[in-house]
Amino acid sequence: MSEDLTPYRIEPIALSNESTVVAEFLPDRVRETAYQSEAELEKAFIKQLQLQAYDYLPLTSEADLVANLRLQLEILNKIVFSDSEWERFFGTCISSANDGIVEKTARIQEDHIQVLKRDDGTVKNIYLIDKLHIHNNSLQVINQYEVPQGDGGANRANRYDVTVLVNGLPMVHVELKRRGVDIREAFNQINRYQRDSFWAGSGLFEYVQLFVISNGTLTKYYSNTVRDGHLAEQRSKRSRQKTSNSFSFTSWWADAKNHPITELTGFTKTFFAKHTLLNILTRYCVFDVDRKLLVMRPYQIVAAEQILQRIATSTNHRQLGKASAGGYIWHTTGSGKTLTSFKAAQLARGLPEIDKVLFVVDRKDLDYQTMREYERFEKGAANSNTSTAVLQRQLENPHARIIITTIQKLSRFVTKNKKHPVYDAHVVVIFDECHRSQFGDMHAEITRVFKRYHLFGFTGTPIFADNAGSHGNPLRRTTEQAFGDKLHTYTIVDAINDKNVLPFRIDYINTIKSRPSIKDKKVSAIDTERALLASERITQVVSYIREHFDQKTKRSASYRHDGKRLVGFNSLFATASIDAAKRYYTEFAEQEKELPPSRRLKVGLIYSFAANEEEVDGLLSEEEFETEGLDQSSRDFLDAAIKDYNALFGTSFDTSADKFQNYYKDLSQRLKKRELDMVIVVNMFLTGFDATTLNTLWVDKNLRAHGLIQAYSRTNRILNSVKTYGNIVSFRDLEQETNDALALFGNKDAKGIVLLKPYAEYYKEYQKRIEELVEKFPLGKAIVGEAAQKAFIKLFGSILRLKNILTAFDDFAGNEILSQRDFQDYQSLYLNLYAEFRSTSEAEKESINDDVVFEIELIKQVEINVDYILMLVEKYLKKKGSGEDKEIRATIERAINASPSLRNKKDLIEQFVDSVSTKAKVDAEWVAFITTKKAEELDRIIADEGLNVDETKAFVDNAFRDGAIPATGTAITKILPPVSRFNKNNGHAVKKQTVLDKLGAFFERFFGLI
């Protein structure tokens, strides 16, 4: 897996003593106390930038912006454009009508040297930004820049707060709100600008690479493609809804000790320091193969620079081949180690003295996953490296500057090649997840044959003296002994404080009580394991999981992910042994055999040979892909489970070597796409596996130290506002082991930060908020005035957030304070205000509701569903004519009004209630009714728009199957009537958008009803 490097892509890296991230930031001791308006905040911010040598420009029009751009590029490139040269260059290399954000981002990140064809026929390279000598670039600041809205609002203009120009191009945009206003409103306002006006005129604001949002007190930054699907959603005028996971991916700035710098003044002094901002723009962004711009976080930048600095100093001091030439990075799991290691490798390969960069992983599944990750960042960086022979060719290829391999392959290469020229090359070796297996004989052999190397390791769970165990070479038992100095630390506590990963919520479910005397017996562990495998206990554990599965994985919540609408999350079940895994798989099948297939949990099973359940140092035994080590019974059982999987998904895997590897890969992908509900494992997937849709780990095995944190960390990847923590449900008493692991890998105070607070604390706060709600906003009394409405929105939003957490606690069941009816009524008020505020914002584009943030996603996860409504309908029919029917009818209406997804279906439900007969089977009549209505409304759209009947029906069927209306691709084109693409009024695009709008509304109306 190497990179085929071409000469023009090499960028020499100029090392500087000026670190991008300040070592330690000490805020000003004197704090201002006077009220500060948004205008005053903006004025102070610009003044600070001027003190930092930014030039202020009082320009507000596009003509001035373009004229300044021309001047700055002339200064940077020591050239004077003729008018015709500038017109050509500007029209083709800067402001082409066909270019959008992606193309302009690619121009800055990948093609920043453009070619000018001069009037005399010669050509000249024109730098848009100088990445080698960053202080050659000019930095200017403008504010209150006006641009007409793109929605035809010619009489209105968007006014942007503050923009930083780099060589005249807008590359950093800052949106400010006054103190006390939620900064998410600044985020939402930028989204509106991206949708409505950044592309207007010459589209220069589509060159913005970074956004900064601040209310003076809190300040964050993010890239122009901060989340999956961001561009598609913002550029499609059909989709106006806000997604739930966008704001979660904004970042705090910090110093090298991970202390956040949140005040705008401190942020400006550090982040907007000239060398820092220019380094971030030119060096610490990655434009990946998915065309997403990833901007690194401060701890990632510090780690990369520490590695580069160590390479430089150890080379100068002739320390190659020694521990002092390398070191290790301790960054907790989930903090983006792959991006950090990739950027370190990418920068290291650009150093003129470095011949090779080897990225070494420990397991085949990590090899596969890391290869895919590297391929995301740079196309061609990771090619197929399937054998030692391929590795040898890459090591001998001077153009293969980055090579990804496993430690096993590298070790086999060393064994077969006692002498080889590469051993004398100047190499950087980076180990991913550098723990136990890199401390053994393979590690010793590799470091013996290579002469001029720098060795770096990345780990989320280092081996310290406290968890080192007593096996192996005493000189290589800890991470520091094996790799050298610790170069940077970012613990699980740091990551949770920064909200880069989620906290954990742990339930300990007691399933067995052992006699006190059992601890005195040498065979206690064996006896205990036998008791833990008792069929009665297995039955109870499976019953508990099935009973609480929907609650723990939030199956009442819906959200969009990877272009599809999903319901709830999924889980792993970690078992103590292959025998246990088999028993649990059998019990799930037994308990669900009477259920229809649609109501059964989709359960997968995977294991291979693993010698021990747990090592003395807490490390999990490695499970390879070889199934030959399994006893015949275990292999036959696994083959049978894979047959179940094949029947479920139409695949053809088994336990033979290649097919088992492909089964692993397919299983992992279906886990990531939430196509599986649960996978039962022994050790597989508990380390090095990331799936954002995974929120729950069921545990029936002993875990400690490294293995415990690794396993727990499968659940705490950030996804959206519905997923607020990683759920751990342990059927063993791991409380002390958990506390010890958190203290070891966080700090002595880690427990209180990493774990959620106890149920009682959340419930007490919930009670307090409900009391305030009832007192200030009693039902039946109108909420008069915008101030009161905003106060209600804020209070009810906080109640929704608390309820979101409380619903996962078993204790919360039956302990609601408000009746279901009252809660629905409050929710209806909340949704009505949401509709009113949104319509005001849409009608008056410049009217921004600064301090209003609605928690609509949280309502969606506790909302009433169709099944509940049909139950009420059945009840209504039975009571019809008795006098009670009116109350039930009112309950139906109340439930619909309190549901965001049912409000647009209200007329359908009411028509159904009026039409259904008292003797009907409600479920069957509902399906027939909705099927008819759906067909009628689709036929009406087809007729009104003149669409292709068969193609449209197939298109819609596929959308309901996939959970989304596809806005791109050829499928939508096939259903449209013939319209010239070259119509001067762009009739094709208008028609396409009209059809998408109608089909989108149709989809939202009928999705999930049957």
Residues 586, 591: Cα–Cα separation, whole Å: 9
The rounded distance, in Å, linking the Cα atoms of 195 and 983 is: 24
CATH superfamily of 525-756: P-loop containing nucleotide triphosphate hydrolases (3.40.50.300)
Name the band, by pLDDT with cuts 50, 70 and 90, for residue 232: very low
Q: Which residue has the higher pLDDT, 756 or 665?
A: 665
Residue-wise pLDDT tens digits, 234-290: 433 333 333 334 677 788 999 998 899 999 999 999 999 999 999 999 999 988 777
Q: What's the pLDDT score for residue 785?
A: 82
Q: Is the pLDDT of residue 194 over 80?
A: no
Q: Are 687 and 463 in contact (CB under 8 A)?
A: no
Task: Indicate the range of 57-66, 734-743, 842-851 predicted with least confidence.
Answer: 842-851
Q: What is the mean pLDDT of the segment spanning 969-987?
A: 66
Start and end residues for every CATH 1.20.58.2040 domain found in the chain: 760-919
Q: 803 and 815 in contact (C-beta within 8 Å)?
A: no
- pLDDT at 832 > cutoff 50: yes
Query: Smallest Cα–Cα separation from 566: which of 820, 861, 335?
Result: 861
pLDDT in tens, 777-828: 988 888 888 888 888 988 988 888 888 778 767 788 778 888 878 887 888 8
Query: What is the per-residue pLDDT for 456?
Result: 92
Res 304: pLDDT: 94
Give the pLDDT confidence of 516-575 residue by residue, as tens digits.
443 333 334 445 677 788 888 999 999 999 989 988 888 877 777 776 778 889 999 999
Pairwise CA distance, residues 397 & 807, whole Å: 58
> Where, residue-wise, is CATH 3.40.50.300 in the chain?
298-490, 525-756
The mean per-residue pLDDT over the stretch 340-364 comes to 83
Ranges 149-153, 196-200, 565-569, 600-604: which has the least confidence: 149-153
Can you name the residues that pair with 302 across neighbouring β-strands? none
Res 227: pLDDT = 41
pLDDT value, residue 4: 36
pLDDT band at 901 (very low <50, low <70, confident <90, very high): low
Q: Which residue type is seen at 540?
A: Q
d(CA 593, CA 603) in angstroms, rounded, equals 13
The mean per-residue pLDDT over the stretch 337-362 comes to 85
Which of 570, 554, 553, 528 is closest to 700 using CA atoms?
A: 528
Q: Does the pLDDT value for residue 877 go beyond 90?
A: no
CATH class for the region spanning 760-919: mainly alpha
Give CA–CA dist 435/972, Å, rounded. 50
Residue 357 has pLDDT above 80, yes or no: yes
The CA distance from 444 to 482, in Å, is 9
Give ranges for CATH 3.90.1570.50 in the chain.
Answer: 21-282
Task: Output the pLDDT for position 476.
Answer: 65
What are the respective helix, strand and coil percentages of the chain, to the nearest 5? 50, 15, 40
Q: Which residue has the higher pLDDT, 757 or 601?
A: 601
pLDDT at 962: 62
Please give the model's pTM, rounded to 2 decimal places: 0.70
pLDDT over 90 for what percent of the chain?
23
Q: Which residues contact 163 (CB under 8 A, 6 or more apart)?
A: 141, 142, 143, 145, 170, 172, 173, 174, 205, 208
Give the phi and the psi of residue 830 in degrees, each rounded to 5: -60, -45
Position 114 pLDDT exceeds 60: yes
Place of tokens 């705490």: 716
Considering 405-409, 728-732, 906-910, the range whose residues carry the highest mean pLDDT is 728-732
DSSP structure string for 210-257: EEEEE-SS-EEEEETT-STTHHHHHH-TT--PPPSSSGGG-B--B-TT
| Mean pLDDT computed over 401-420 | 82
Q: Which residues contact 632 (CB under 8 A, 6 or more apart)?
A: none
Q: Per mean pLDDT, which range of 51-65, 222-236, 364-378, 623-637 is the poorest?
A: 222-236
The per-type count for the chain, helices as H runs and strands as E runs, is 35, 25
Chain mean pLDDT for the chain: 79
Give the type of residue at 1004: E
Assign residue 986 a region: left if phi > 0, alpha if psi is -120 to 50, beta otherwise?
Answer: left
Q: Please give the average per-residue pLDDT across 581-595, as a whole number.
A: 93
Can you say whether residue 785 is alpha, beta or left, with left for phi > 0 and alpha for psi between -120 and 50 degrees? left
What is the SS3 assignment for 281-326? HHCCEEECCCCCEEECCHHHHHHHHHHHHHHHHHHHCCCCCCHHHC
625: pLDDT confidence band, cut at 50, 70 and 90? low
The number of residues making up the chain comes to 1010
pLDDT band at residue 755 under the 50/70/90 scheme: low
E strand or H helix at 429: strand 426-431
Model confidence pLDDT, tens digit, residues 474-509:
556 678 878 888 899 898 888 888 887 888 888 888
What mean pLDDT do residues 50-69 have?
A: 92
Architecture of domain 21-282: Alpha-Beta Complex (3.90)
Alpha-carbon distance of 670 to 677, in angstroms, equals: 10
Per-residue pLDDT, averaged over 100-123, amounts to 89
Position 243 scores a pLDDT of 38
Architecture of the domain delimited by 298-490: 3-Layer(aba) Sandwich (3.40)
> Using CA atoms, how far apart are residues 680 and 654, in angstroms rounded to an integer?
17
> How far apart are the C-alpha atoms of 725 and 441, rounded to whole Å?
40
Residue 735, SS3 per DSSP: helix
Confidence class for position 190, pLDDT limits 50, 70, 90:
confident
Bin 334: left if φ > 0, else alpha if -120 < ψ < 50, else beta.
Answer: left
Between 319 and 36, the more confident residue is 319
Residue with tokens 């069941």: 813
Quick check: 880 and 918 in contact, CB under 8 A? yes
End-to-end C-alpha distance for the chain, whole angstroms: 48
Residue 838 has pLDDT above 90, yes or no: no
Residues 263-300: b if buried by 16+ CB within 10 A, e if exposed: bbbbbbbbbbbbebbbbbbbbbbbbbeeebbbbbbbbb
